[in-house]
Structure 1
Amino acid sequence: MIETHNYVIVGGGLEGLAIAWSLADRGETDIVVLERGTLCSGMTGKSSGVVRCHYGSPSLAAMAWYGVDIFTRATEIFGDDMGFQQCGYVVGVGEDNLGPLHANVAMMRSLDIDVQLIDHAAMGSLWPGMHLDDFAAFAYEPLGGRGEAYLAGMAFAASARTLGVRIRQSTPVRALLRRPRDDVYGVALADGSEIHAGTVILAAGPWTPALAAGVGVDLDIKAQRAQLVLVDQGEPTPVVPVLSDLAGLSYLCREPNGELLFGNSDHSAPRYIDPDDYVNRADESTVDTAIRKLGHRLPEMPDPRITGSYVGAYDVTPDYNPVIGPAPVDGLFLAAGFSGHGFKISPAVGKLVADLVTDGKTELPNVDPHDFRYSRFAENDPLVSPHPYLGAGEMR
């Protein structure tokens, strides 16, 4: 027997579950989510969970601002706080990036995003003991902070289920189904069965390109290795803002247990992995980089030591921005290539996709769906910041 649904969502990670909840919240409940393993067991669980609006693209900034509101009201909406801690978020830049900082802050303010320029004294009070001399200026988002992608995904899933969405785990999709030279009409599962649907939404992270290729859709998405290092300073880190250090090209987050999470922001020499077969620990050069950069930025750490590391993958497109929109094949909708932005914009991704597949337009303020269209790469019109940061433009 063949199942039939209005919507099949391939991928039970954060984005797929946000889409499922958003569709159900609109009253579209004939939905099945297919996850090859367990929910959020792919790259969702490797997310650093940063919440920030500091982008050069107005659409991305607006999507992140929408996300801030949802995360702030998560307990009210979902009965679950999604692990969100509103500790704030700071971008620090050197002299060479003062122009882009001021331009991007002005753009964010034009969207009514709560962001302010702060001086060294204010930054020193927000994060005591930090070496600040090589920073020229800071932009502070008091409503930013840190969440937990796994918890967010599970909250979306639980709420979607209560609205009638079916979620099937341990259900790998073998292929998309397409009529010859015509539309996509469903999926073939690994067990040989089929599920047919009016719309297939492909939200499978770095596994998306292989499935899309099976129906003739070429997606230039690679799995870029992202290495994270955990550090105990020798005493618990107090509650401090997330720092995006664009002078030293790194970022720092306080873990719930008081440790620090260190990530590298230098994407000038990316490395790619097979998301099904890679070593899940930072390599020696990354650990050395973490030690060097932390020693410079936090010279007063009393007794620092590395406590662990892990590796995830950004599903990156050529312009480091997602593809969200119809595929060039009827019946297939794409939501992939989130390039490190996925957690913070996931609530907006859910709404954007739900709006577009039901109405063909979105109610999200200040978000232009045209920015994320599949065809932009063939048109040589990538989504890039008008005011990129020197040395750190890829994820901005």
Structure 2
Amino acid sequence: MGTEVENRAEVLIIGAGVIGASAAFALAKSGHDVLVVDRNSGVGDGSTGSSAGIIRVHASDMQSSALAADSLTAWNNWRDFLGADSAEALARFVRCGSLILDAGTGFVDRAAAAMRAAEVSFEEWSSGEVEENFPYFDLHRFGPPGPIDDDEFWSEPTEFLRGALYTPQSGYVGDPTLAAVNLMQAARREGARLRPSTTVARIDVEGARAVGATLADGSRLRAEAVLLAAGPHSDSLASAIGATADFRVRTRRIREELVHVPAPAGLDLALQGVHLVDGDLNINFRPESGNAFLGGSNGDLAEEQTVIEDPDEFNPMVTPGGWERATLRLARRIPTLGIPRARTGVVGLYDAAEDWLPIYDRTCFDGLFVAMATSGTQFKTAPIVGELLRHVIETELDGRDHTAEPFLAPTSGRAYSTAQFSRLRDPRQGQSRG
């Protein structure tokens, strides 16, 4: 293949995380010539690799819940969805259910309403039913969540939580990076090309149109469409050319710590584990291999978020403060939990919007598209999001407004309005990371 052919594509995707890989699969399967580049040496080595890999169906709004449920169909039939043969090592979806404790903030009510509207099944449990199914949880009300060095944190609670929502179909993928690799392998089977260890210096525009990208080594890639799916690096690449000038919703880069804590003696999480969503203590944990918990913050408290300006400069180690906050809060909910001395976990940088909804849209430049603000919430929807991005790109390249035409999910035929994910939306009020 000549250099000119190698440096041209119909669609250039910047970013080989789970979203970029899924878009590559959907576009290549639809017959497009796709080239994917990533600054890392491996697929899924960025934000995807530091994801908790949770596949949940509860959300603050109907469309997000429905999209997660439609994606769950793909996760449950992963090999068939990918068209992979029996020899390929695949990421495994583990069903454990999600338990969303009612912290009295109104989130449980919004999530229940969203799932009803989306026709997603769930159960409403009293505190007695929670205790019957998960007796190792202390169901006292400890919140609202406060600093662990505050005397109030250690005061004896007198009230109990009202109950919880339970979604038995939810679970997690223990190896999110492998899931991205699987999607990229599927994309390559459909003809997509991949160039790892390739850093984009800038997106190139001519007049009002994106025409490709210039790499750090000075070489250029040319394309009819560019999809920016570079996680925490997306904002700087887009804003450098003024592509975020008309965005009405802000994005930011949040440093996220996931801590790894062994389960108490006698508790078998393979049999008794659950994905815990605890707004009362602002924690979110799931079972992990080795009979342990993996998790951290719910992400709802702005004062506990660490916003990073430079995505290449952040502390990649679990900090003493983050470790103590997450583990001690979990220990309040699980009194028999032991706190190990060694701090182990995963630290990553999340690309998130102020309303925790993603941005799947074109920009003010023709031919330039973005999949931004997906970290920490959209791993679960990645299989269907690839198809949604294909719809956005194909519709706009054909000269039509993608927000005026519904996207039909391939797993269910359900219709979605892509306007919810527009860069021009007013930030949604009451949205939660969940």
**TM-score under structure 1 length normalisation:** 0.90
Q: Which amino acid aligns with 1:212?
A: A
C-alpha displacement at 1:304, in angstroms? 4.0
Question: Hey, what does 1:282 align to over in structure 2?
Answer: 318
Pairing 1:31–2:34 present: yes
Question: Hey, what does 1:383 align to over in structure 2?
Answer: 428
**Mapping of 1:321-336 within 5 angstroms?**
321-336=357-372
Q: Is the 8 A contact 2:124 2:165 kept in 1?
A: yes
Pairing 1:305–2:316 present: no
C-alpha displacement at 1:136, in angstroms? 1.2
Q: Which amino acid aligns with 2:363?
A: A
Q: Is the 8 A contact 1:58 1:367 kept in 2?
A: no
Question: Hey, what does 2:153 align to over in structure 1?
Answer: none
Q: Which amino acid aligns with 2:242?
A: G
**Mapping of 1:211-290 within 5 angstroms?**
211-218=237-244, 220-235=250-265, 237-239=268-270, 240-265=273-298, 266-269=300-303, 270-273=305-308, 274-290=310-326
Q: 2:221 aligns with which of 180, 185, 195?
A: 195
Q: How many Å separate the matches in 2 of 1:358 and 1:125?
A: 51
SS of 1:61's equivalent in the other structure is helix
C-alpha displacement at 1:231, in angstroms? 0.9
**Given the superposition, is the C-alpha separation of residues 72 and 93 from structure 1 closer, same or farther in structure 2, using an over 3 Å criterion?**
same
Q: How many Å separate the matches in 2 of 1:306 and 1:259?
A: 15
Q: Which amino acid aligns with 1:152?
A: A
Q: How many Å separate the matches in 1 of 2:204 and 2:68?
A: 34
Q: How many Å separate the matches in 2 of 1:174 and 1:224?
A: 23
**Given the superposition, is the C-alpha separation of residues 357 and 76 from structure 1 closer, same or farther in structure 2, using an over 3 Å criterion?**
same
SS of 2:416's equivalent in the other structure is coil
**Mapping of 1:120-159 within 5 angstroms?**
120-134=127-141, 135-147=161-173, 148-159=175-186
Pairing 1:367–2:416 present: yes
Question: Hey, what does 1:72 align to over in structure 2?
Answer: 76
Q: Which amino acid aligns with 2:321?
A: S
Q: Is the 8 A contact 1:317 1:339 kept in 2?
A: no
Once the two structures are overlaid, the 10-residue window that deviates more, 72-81 or 225-234, is 72-81
Question: Hey, what does 1:83 align to over in structure 2?
Answer: 92
Q: How many Å separate the matches in 2 of 1:248 and 1:192?
A: 49
Q: How many Å separate the matches in 1 of 2:339 and 2:79?
A: 35
Pairing 1:105–2:108 present: no
Q: Percent identity?
A: 26
Deviations 1:158-212 (A, max 9, x none): 1111111101111111111101x32001111122221111110000001001111
SS of 2:380's equivalent in the other structure is helix
Q: How many Å separate the matches in 2 of 1:317 and 1:92?
A: 24
Q: Is the 8 A contact 1:227 1:286 kept in 2?
A: yes
Pairing 1:63–2:89 present: no
Once the two structures are overlaid, the 10-residue window that deviates more, 217-226 or 336-345, is 217-226
Deviations 1:16-74 (A, max 9, x none): 0011011122232x100001112111111000111112111222112211221111111
In structure 2, stretches of 5+ residues that fail to align are 142-160, 396-401
Runs of 4+ with >4 A deviation? none
C-alpha displacement at 1:271, in angstroms? 1.4
Question: Hey, what does 1:170 align to over in structure 2?
Answer: 197
**Given the superposition, is the C-alpha separation of residues 103 and 44 from structure 1 closer, same or farther in structure 2, using an over 3 Å criterion?**
closer
Question: Hey, what does 2:152 align to over in structure 1?
Answer: none
C-alpha displacement at 1:366, in angstroms? 4.6
SS of 2:136's equivalent in the other structure is coil
Q: Is the 8 A contact 1:232 1:306 kept in 2?
A: no
In structure 1, stretches of 5+ residues that fail to align are none
**Given the superposition, is the C-alpha separation of residues 182 and 271 from structure 1 closer, same or farther in structure 2, using an over 3 Å criterion?**
same
Q: Is the 8 A contact 1:234 1:305 kept in 2?
A: no
SS of 2:345's equivalent in the other structure is strand
Pairing 1:20–2:53 present: no
SS of 2:424's equivalent in the other structure is helix
Q: How many Å separate the matches in 2 of 1:189 and 1:278?
A: 24
**Given the superposition, is the C-alpha separation of residues 103 and 262 from structure 1 closer, same or farther in structure 2, using an over 3 Å criterion?**
closer
Q: How many residues align?
A: 380
**Given the superposition, is the C-alpha separation of residues 246 and 366 from structure 1 closer, same or farther in structure 2, using an over 3 Å criterion?**
farther
Q: How many Å separate the matches in 2 of 1:121 and 1:67?
A: 32
Q: How many Å separate the matches in 2 of 1:7 and 1:262?
A: 36
Q: How many Å separate the matches in 2 of 1:263 and 1:103?
A: 23
SS of 1:329's equivalent in the other structure is coil
C-alpha displacement at 1:125, in angstroms? 4.2
SS of 1:24's equivalent in the other structure is helix
**TM-score under structure 2 length normalisation:** 0.83
Question: Hey, what does 2:433 align to over in structure 1?
Answer: 395
What RMSD, in angstroms, separates the aligned Cα atoms of the two structures? 1.9
Q: Is the 8 A contact 1:86 1:146 kept in 2?
A: yes
Q: Which amino acid aligns with 2:208?
A: D
